[in-house]
Amino acid sequence: MREPSVPELASSIRSPLLQVEALSKSFPGVRALDEVSLEVFSGEVVAVVGHNGSGKSTLVKVLAGLYEPDPGGQVFARTAEGAIVQGSEARDALHIIHQDLGLIGNLSTIENLDLGRRHGLRSLLPAPSRDERRRASELVAQFGASFDVRAPIASLPPAARTVVAIARALDGWTRPDNMLILDEPTATLRGEEVALLFGAVRRTAKGGAGVIFISHRLDEVVNLADRVLVLRDGRLVAALEAGEYDHETLVNLITGGAAGSAAAVEHKILDDPVLRVRGLSGETVVRADLDIRPGEIVGVSGVVGSGREAIGGLIFGALRRTSGEVELGDRSLPPGRLRAAIAAGVGYVPADRHSAGAVMSFSVRENVTLPQLRPLRRRLGRLDLRQERREAISWLGRVGLRPLVPERALSLFSGGNQQKAVLAKWLRNEPRLLLLDEPTQGVDVGAKASIYELVVGAAGRGAAVLISSSDTEELLSICNRVLVFREGEVVATLEGEDLTDHRLVMESLGLGRAGAEIVFGDTEDC
Partner 1 sequence: MSSDVKRAFGPGSVELATSVHDSEPPARPWHQSVRLALSFRNISAIYIFLVLFVLFSLWVPETFLQWDTWHSLLATQALVALVAIGLVPALAAGVFNLAIGAQVGFGSILVAWFLAKQGLGVAPAIALTVVAGTVIGVGSGLVITRFRIDSFIATLGISSVLLAMIQWIANSQQIVDLGESFQRIATNEVLGLTLPVWFMLAVGLLLWYVLERTPLGRRLYATGGNPEAARLAGVPVPAMVVLSLAICGAIATAAGILQSAQVGTGDPTVGPGFLLPAFAAAFLGSTQFRGGRYNIWGTVVAVYVLATGVKGLQLAGAPVWIPDLFNGIALLIAVGMSRIEATSIRSRAISRMIRRPGSGATTRAEENTSN
**Least distance (Å) between residue 318 CB and partner 1:** 6
Angle between helices 158-170 and 129-141 (to 10 degrees): 100
Q: From the CB of 387, what's the least distance to partner 1, in Å?
A: 11
Kindly tell me the burial class for residue 521, based on how many C-beta atoms sit within 10 Å of its own C-beta (0-12, 13-18, 19 or more). Answer: buried
Least Cβ distance, residue 328 to partner 1 (angstroms): 15
Please tell me the distance from the alpha carbon of residue 447 to that of residue 143, in angstroms, as a whole number.
44
The distance of closest approach from Cβ of residue 338 to partner 1 in the complex, given in angstroms and rounded to an integer, is 5
Measured at the CA of 287, the angle between CA 282 and CA 288, to 5 degrees, comes to 95
Residue closer to partner 1 (CB basis): 80 or 404: 404
Residue 68 or 497 having the CB closest to partner 1: 68
Residue 522 backbone dihedrals phi, psi, to 5 degrees:
-110, -35
| Between 147 and 362, CB nearer to partner 1 | 362
Where do runs of H (alpha helix) occur along 225-302? 247-255
Cα-trace Rg, the chain: 26
Instruction: Output the smallest distance, CB 285 to partner 1, in A.
Output: 18
Measured from the CB atom, is 323 or 387 closer to partner 1? 387
Nearest alpha carbon to residue 62 among 214, 262, 195: 214
Smallest gap from Cβ 107 to partner 1, in A, equals 24
Dihedral of alpha carbons 355, 356, 358, 362, sign: positive
CB of 25 to partner 1, least distance (A): 10
Cα–Cα dist 11/208, whole Å: 11
Q: How far is the CB of 465 from partner 1 (least distance, A)?
A: 17
Neighbours of 340 (CB within 10 A): 14
Strands (E), 296-373: 297-301, 323-328, 331-332, 346-349
Q: Which is nearer to partner 1, 12 or 355 (CB)?
A: 355
d(CA 242, CA 173): 28
190 vs 28, 195, 237, 508, CA distance in Å?
37, 9, 30, 15
CB of 14 vs partner 1, minimal distance in Å: 38
Considering beta carbons, is residue 155 or 361 the nearer one to partner 1? 361
**Residue number with CB closer to partner 1 (210 or 313):** 313
Q: Which of 416, 413, 397 is closest to 29 using CA atoms?
A: 416
Given the rule CB under 8 A, which residues bind partner 1? 26-31, 316, 318, 338-339, 341-343, 348, 350, 355-362, 366, 369-371, 373-374, 376-377, 381-383, 385, 389-390, 393-394, 397-398, 400, 402-405, 407-408, 411-412, 414, 417, 425
- Closer Cβ to partner 1, 2 or 382, answer by number: 382
- Choice between 198 and 426, CB closer to partner 1: 426
Cβ proximity to partner 1: between 28 and 515 the closer is: 28
Least distance CB 348 / partner 1 (angstroms): 6
Which amino acid type is present at position 221? V
101-to-98, 104, 153, 159 alpha-carbon distances in Å: 5, 9, 11, 11
Amino acid at 343: A
Task: Report yes or no: 369 and 382 within 8 Å, Cβ to Cβ.
Answer: no
Output the smallest distance, CB 93 to partner 1, in A.
26
CB of 358 or CB of 455, closer to partner 1: 358
Contact status, residue 159 vs residue 101, Cβ threshold 8 Å? no
Q: Residue 262 or 383: which CB sits closer to partner 1?
A: 383
In whole angstroms, the minimum distance from the beta carbon of 65 to partner 1 comes to 16
Amino acid occupying residue 58:
T
Q: Which of 256-259's residues contact partners 24+ apart within 8 Å by CB, and which partners?
A: 256/232, 259/500
